[in-house]
Amino acid sequence: MPLLLTESDVQRVLPMADLILAMESALVRFSSDQVLQPLRNVLEVGSDKSFFGVMPAYIPGSSALGVKVVSVFDGNAKRGVASHLATIALFDTNTGALIALMDGRYITEARTAAVSAVATRHLARESDVVKVCVIGSGVQARSHLRALNCIRQFAEVRVWSPNRVHREHFAEEESKRFGLSVLAAENAEEAVQDADLIVLATSASEPVLMSQWVSDGTHVISVGACRPHQREMDPSLVARARLVVDSRESALTESGDIVLSIAEARFNAEHIVAEIGEIIAGRVQGRTSSSEVTIFKSLGMAVEDITAAAMVYERARVEGLGADVSI
């Protein structure tokens, strides 16, 4: 019978440090053509064009076969419901039978940040202590601080989001978590001043980060603006930087930060220097100088979700978590 796993079950067996290692391996496999994964299929729902996506993946030679169904309904905040929701189904690679059904909201939250940590390890300047700026104050902003803290020590953290109450609450809570003072900046420019790492975890459809604010040598992580009509970065910044993505196909189809700039003839598709998996594998150089601005544009991939879900399933079986259900 299939195993049903709740969000609390998933969290119990998916520590961030382990997930970062798993994502590094998954990214290399993807960029080495060892993964079967079509571009996600997306429906726009309702007048506000909410996002409903279907993301299947299979890793040959492994037990990882599954699909994530994900929705992004920004209006959920008013309903007291998370805006990003997901469910993951795993299947037996021999029979095709359903073996597990689990909450995918936390996996989406955690694997996105874990992938960003992997990219930071390979693209940011080598430094044990860093100044971090986070633009955004939601789930991904929090998750990214947890993931980045696994690979870097924070000297300073600044946050900005348009809602003062949200950013001040974020700063208060994260100060307690990390034992240092997280500053809620008055504006985005103040937040990014002299930052070593900038995390963009926004729901913006127009740029919130300007090129002139970003110091030489900064590494930028962009996980928002996941539709072709949305941007969260100044196109001049994207053109200026060494640009790395999770998937070329996805970036050239779904990322407004890239698609719109190409349409405006600011650069062409070759401006993407590599997928992060190619850099991890050593086939393409990551950072080329200490003064270079690097950008990692992350859209999220099914292989990340299914890799994480397979790990959750195996550990949950060992620990006796979840409930066997008959469907």
Looking at the structure, do residues 233 and 257 belong to the same domain, yes or no?
A: yes
pLDDT computed for residue 227 by the predictor? 86
Q: Using 70 as the pLDDT threshold, list the residues of the chain that sit under it.
A: none
Average pLDDT, the chain: 95
Total domains in the chain come to 2
Looking at the structure, do residues 18 and 73 belong to the same domain, yes or no?
A: yes
What is the domain-level CATH number for residue 283? 3.40.50.720
Looking at the structure, do residues 51 and 192 belong to the same domain, yes or no?
A: no
Looking at the structure, do residues 91 and 217 belong to the same domain, yes or no?
A: no
pLDDT computed for residue 187 by the predictor? 96
pLDDT in tens, 127-163: 878 999 999 999 999 999 999 999 999 999 999 999 9
What ranges in the chain are assigned the alpha helix state H?
7-12, 16-31, 105-123, 139-148, 164-178, 188-192, 235-240, 248-254, 256-263, 276-280, 302-319
Looking at the structure, do residues 283 and 134 belong to the same domain, yes or no?
A: yes
Q: Which residue segment(s) compose the domain that 311 sits in?
A: 3-108+303-324
Looking at the structure, do residues 157 and 295 belong to the same domain, yes or no?
A: yes
Looking at the structure, do residues 248 and 291 belong to the same domain, yes or no?
A: yes
Looking at the structure, do residues 314 and 208 belong to the same domain, yes or no?
A: no
What is the domain-level CATH number for residue 39? 3.30.1780.10
Looking at the structure, do residues 214 and 247 belong to the same domain, yes or no?
A: yes
pLDDT in tens, 165-200: 999 999 999 999 888 889 999 999 999 999 999 999
